[in-house]
Amino acid sequence: MGVKLALCLIPYKHVLFRPLGIFKLGGMDDAGYALSVFQNHRRHSGVSLLGAALLEIGPGDSAATGLIAWAAGAKKTVLLDQGGHAVRDMAFYKRLARELAGSGFTRAERLLACRSFEELLQATGTTYLTGGIASLRSLESGSLDFSFSQDVLEHIHLNEIGSFLRELCRAHKRGSFTSHRIDLQDHLGEGLNSLRFGPRVWESALFKRAGFYTNRLRAGQVVEMFQSAGFRVVSAEEEKWDDLPINPEKMHQSFQSMPRENLLVRRLYLLGQKD
């Protein structure tokens, strides 16, 4: 943790340390993984993407979802992130296009003619926004048919996630779905070590900039926030530990009174709908 706190002060850390896997932003720069994530959320929601407008929250290291969604029949894709971290290497995207074509998405073959990242975005109807919640506010109300995220929502700052979810709901059409996998483990050792710290330390500017920051919301709190934002929670599937990975006495007092069943949830698969 100390090492990450020090490294987070270095400019351009995502570029410098990406080859080492430090500050790596998910696995979306792996073509197979990107396709599996997209297909899982599509199956989870059961939505048809033909002519749809969709949003991926936190595309991380690539713009792969724009290609995949277009190949699956989507009209428009918005990729929303907190910085321009997506790889621009056309060799990666052409490899993805070939894999898509080989998996039955024959439309993807047309993308092999694209010569630049910008041309690729234009050809697939993809808009890449890098201003976080400010960019989300720029989306037209009632413009989204579908949205999803993969291990991203836990990284949105605690004081911003309520506003973020309200803006997300505003941008959705009535009857549309939003699908999310949310990792409730700490990003230190896949346990609950983050709960050792009080809010004053954990929500400090330094910790928020570190690669291990999460908002530490538990499953029940996440469900309540989606409901408060205007979504009906269709399903909230929980993946749990068999036993707590931390001695409750080691947790900060602000977490010690939480129900044990809520603390046991390590991952949440949430599907919401805007009524």
Residues 214-249: tens digit of each pLDDT: 999 999 999 999 999 999 999 999 999 999 999 999
Amino acid 210: pLDDT: 84
Which residues lie across from 78 on neighbouring strands? Answer: 55, 127
Mean of the per-residue pLDDT values of the chain: 92
Q: With bands split at pLDDT 50, 70 and 90, how would you rate the model's confidence at 211? A: confident
Least confident of 4-13, 30-39, 100-109, 264-273: 4-13
* Predicted confidence (pLDDT) at residue 51 exceeds the cutoff of 60: yes
Sign for the CA dihedral angle at 208, 155, 246, 233 comes to positive
Residues sharing a CB contact under 8 Å with residue 243, sequence separation 6 or more, in sequence order: 264
Q: Please tell me the pTM assigned to this model.
A: 0.90
Q: Rounded distance, CA 86 to CA 79, Å?
A: 10
Average pLDDT over residues 105-132: 97
Q: What is the signed CA dihedral for 134, 73, 48, 85, rounded to 10 degrees? A: -30
Amino acid 2: pLDDT: 61
